[in-house]
Structure 1
Amino acid sequence: MSGVRVKEHEQLRVMDSWNFNAIQCNKVKSVPPCPVTVPLSAYKALVVEEDKAVHLVIRFTQLLCNSTHPMTVYEKCHIERGHDITTITIRQKLLQPIYRVQLSKSLNRIWYTFNNVDACAFVLRRRNPVLRLLFANFQKFSNINHSCPFTDYLIVDRFAISDIQVARLPILAGEYALLTAWQLNGVDAAYTNVFVIYS
């Protein structure tokens, strides 16, 4: 955690806790007097200590890209590791226009799989909630901002996952894998596998 972040909902939760303790304290008329106000410095101290105790980070550990058909080739497929962040970059060259894209995916440890998703239709309507969540996170790092046809390149540039956004989800610490297989124009053409650790 960099700096001190005091979120409104955390302040309210801390205040609720203090108020509850104050009510219970008043009932038993304890000495010394019960707390009734919480200074901002106390908010910050409590939030910081809580955040240190529960804040987890997510990091990419491995990235595998493989082309299984000559219509496409991966020019880049790597992880960049910084001091406190990891990013992935994928540059996939398309050697012919792509009019149909079918996607099969699995998320291990979450036990979620889906097969033959029409990726072209999804970009237009975004009805699959899991895909919608994944797409919303990486869209701003990618040139995949329209439906089919796709030409020239598909690019994901220095994509990083937000620890704060992941912390809002009911995900346990551990290792995860996102395994994808791609059909382009009806032909099995590529797969991309992403491995992360959340700890």
Structure 2
Amino acid sequence: MVCDISAYSKFEFTNLNCETLNKSYADFEYCYLKSINRTYKYLSIKVNLLKKPIRKVRAALFKRFNGWRPFMFDMTVDACNFLKNTKSNLAAKYFLDFFKPFSNMNHSCPFDHDLIVDKMNIAHINHQFTNVLPFPEGDYFLETHWIAYDIDRAVVKMYGTLS
């Protein structure tokens, strides 16, 4: 008798928060989670860049352990240099792969247009979190700071649960 015991993890968005720290630099046209049905959910963000360029992105992943604690990484990346050679930072590439298929951030600098993440669906996120690099179950949030001239201009926080 052969027993097939397989575990299946599922990622679920729980919240999304987009904050402009300098309205003269950037402003969010929209930032939302949308649930079409029980299985199809997606995230969409559009930020209007009023001044350019955004050069650096700081990203940190947090996991809930009696409060939010840093988990796995906290890094700052020069976005322009990284996009020229995405193999230069494998952790940053892993997180870029979450957004790249749903975004217009698919070329190197300069970005002289608004930045869009359109309908990033839960199935893709679930694949990244469970198949590409499996994560332990729990509550997570990814915090990104969009930086120009060494000043934070915007903060995006994406929250989710892996069960």
2:129 is aligned to 166
Higher helix share: 1
Note the residue ranges of structure 1 that are not aligned, 5 or more in a row: 1-16, 19-45
Question: CA RMSD of the aligned region, Å?
Answer: 2.0
- 1:187-198 matches, within 5 Å, as 187-198=151-162
From the superposition, tell whether residues 105 and 164 of structure 1 become closer, same or farther in structure 2 (CA, over 3 Å): closer
TM-score by length of 1: 0.69
What is the CA–CA distance in structure 1 between the aligned matches of 2:141 and 2:128, rounded to whole Å? 18
2:74 to 114, 119, 130: 114
- The alignment covers a number of residue pairs equal to 151
Structure 1 residue 138 displacement after superposition: 1.6
Contact conserved, 1:177 with 1:194, CA < 8 A, in 2?
yes
2:101 is aligned to 140
2:8 is aligned to 55
Amino acid at match of 1:167: T
Matched, 1:89 2:44: yes
Contact conserved, 1:62 with 1:79, CA < 8 A, in 2?
yes
Note the residue ranges of structure 2 that are not aligned, 5 or more in a row: 64-69
Amino acid at match of 1:180: T
SS at match of 2:81: helix
- 1:91-106 matches, within 5 Å, as 91-98=46-53, 100-106=54-60
Structure 1 residue 106 displacement after superposition: 1.1
Contact conserved, 1:97 with 1:150, CA < 8 A, in 2?
yes
SS at match of 1:108: strand
Structure 1 residue 130 displacement after superposition: 1.4
Q: Which moved more, 1:104-113 or 1:129-138?
A: 104-113
2:30 is aligned to 76
SS at match of 1:122: helix
